[in-house]
């Protein structure tokens, strides 16, 4: 047991991969990489920086003297300056040119962008995996008739596979939004204290072309073709808001799936995985509580609410910058990524092991189908010469009586018996049974599944065929 609070997103829910992505170690190593490529690019453009200085910086890029950095931060109350001193302590030759012309946002903001980008790659891979798993499920059950619900009241029939396509489509919309976000992400670049590049213009003796080329070189070394054309001291915090809105959207999709699955599990039609030794309740041994789906809903709520933070931050930044974003962003951004990572871990695990109970589904369909077939029966009787208005009223009366007996007396649905016994209809019970074939009431649901997969899902899965992951294991 630990004596201090630990974040359960790290200890219980999110993957090690995502936790490492937002670790201090990755952040500070990225800072050093940014300092190195800045110095390297400055040398290439004629600044007096020696190969020995660059070699020393390169040697210690990933070997951080954390004890020294912590000691200096206690003294200086400034994390960037503390790490400049720590880097310089290991690279005494390079100390005079470290961070040359830069401001703290050069390492801070550019690092945040790089780390969020890596986090989105992890998220995209897991999104694609969820889509692939649900697609297999949808195709397998595309013909399995099931009772559809509106307002959680019995409606027309659909199929188990068609319903799964609703979940898939939400995730596809998330991937499409993610693709748009990817195209909008640029590096903050090399902008200086208030974004004017004044310090770099001074460094290069008022040579504007070299200042522009410096920024281009740094961006290219970090894998970017573009930087934001203008910034204050920081890049616009609207980027954070846009990224966390995307994460919120994914959480919304997962929350919808979670709600649907819990309703279906309550109906005993479809269940999430339940392991041999798993305990559903400490008091009720028979319980098979949908704890995975419940956890998904719980963390999804957190991720959705968290998206409000960067929106507020973006709207309250003063002029070229204010530091009231810093503490908030340190908490909100990593935790949103960790939360959605955790959600998708659960989603993959559940989608991989969904359990369907066709007999329960069929029983419920049979119970409700006579009501749904009433319009079909009405049309058939009119074809045989019946009075549509008279028959409609008789059907209404019989339906109300059958519904009352089901609800008040617990009887089976006797609507067909009422109709067969009513001379106004002139139809036998056997003929009515022939009408009640579930496949006649599911419309184009099976075809919709096939068309949706072929036209929408498969092209996306093919495009990202190298990005799926099979790791759907949960810690608890």
Annotated active-site positions, please? 151, 281
Q: How far apart are CA 230 and CA 97, in angstroms?
A: 25
Looking up tokens 């920086």 gives: 49
Which residues are bridge partners to 227 per DSSP?
187
> What is the b/e burial string over 213-232, where b = at least 16 CB atoms within 10 angstroms of the residue's CB?
ebbbbbbeebebeebbeebb
Q: How far apart are CA 94 and CA 106, in angstroms?
A: 18
């Amino acid at each position: 047991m630990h004596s201090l609070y630990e974040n359960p997103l790290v200890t219980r829910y999110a993957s090690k991969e995502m936790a490492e992505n937002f670790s201090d170690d990755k952040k500070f190593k990225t800072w050093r990489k940014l300092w190195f490529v800045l110095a390297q690019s400055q040398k290439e453009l004629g600044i007096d920086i020696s190969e020995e200085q660059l070699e020393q910086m390169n040697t210690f890029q990933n070997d951080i003297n954390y004890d020294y950095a912590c000691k200096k931060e206690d003294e200086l109350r400034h994390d960037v300056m503390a790490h400049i001193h720590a880097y310089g302590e290991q690279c005494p030759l390079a100390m005079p040119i470290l961070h040359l012309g830069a401001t703290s946002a050069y390492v801070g903001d550019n690092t945040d962008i790089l780390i969020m980008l890596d986090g989105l790659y992890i998220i995209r891979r897991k999104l694609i995996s969820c889509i692939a798993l649900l697609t297999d499920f949808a195709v397998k059950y595309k013909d399995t008739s099931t009772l559809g619900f509106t307002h959680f009241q019995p409606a027309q029939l659909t199929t188990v596979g068609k319903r799964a396509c609703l979940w898939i489509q939400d995730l596809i919309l998330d991937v499409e939004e993610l693709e748009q976000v990817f195209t909008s992400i640029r590096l903050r670049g090399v902008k200086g204290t208030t974004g004017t590049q004044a310090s770099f213009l001074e460094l290069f003796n008022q040579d504007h072309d070299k200042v522009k080329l410096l920024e281009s070189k740094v961006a290219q070394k970090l894998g970017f073709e573009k930087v934001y054309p203008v910034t204050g001291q920081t890049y616009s915090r609207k980027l954070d808001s846009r990224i966390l809105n995307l994460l919120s959207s994914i959480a919304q999709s997962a929350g919808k799936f979670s709600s649907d699955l819990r309703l279906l599990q309550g109906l005993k039609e479809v269940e999430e995985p339940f392991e041999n030794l798993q305990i559903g309740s400490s008091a009720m041994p028979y319980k098979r509580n949908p704890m995975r789906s419940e956890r998904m809903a719980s963390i999804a709520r957190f991720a959705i609410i968290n998206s409000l933070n960067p929106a507020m931050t973006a709207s309250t930044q003063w002029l070229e910058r204010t530091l009231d974003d810093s503490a908030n962003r340190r908490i909100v951004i990593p935790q949103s990524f960790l939360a959605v990572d955790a959600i998708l871990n659960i989603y993959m695990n559940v989608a991989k092991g969904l359990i369907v109970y066709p007999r329960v589904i069929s029983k419920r369909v049979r119970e409700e189908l006579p009501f749904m077939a009433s319009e079909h029966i009405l049309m058939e009787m009119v074809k045989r010469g019946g009075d549509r208005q008279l028959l409609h009223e008789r059907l209404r009366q019989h339906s109300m009586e059958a519904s009352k007996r089901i609800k008040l007396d617990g009887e089976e649905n006797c609507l067909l018996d009422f109709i067969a016994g009513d001379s106004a209809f002139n139809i036998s019970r056997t003929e009515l049974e022939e009408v009640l074939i579930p496949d006649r009431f599911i419309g184009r649901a099976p075809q919709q599944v096939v068309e949706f997969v072929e036209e929408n899902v498969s092209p996306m899965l093919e495009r990202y065929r190298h990005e799926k992951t099979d790791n759907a294991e949960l810690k608890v």
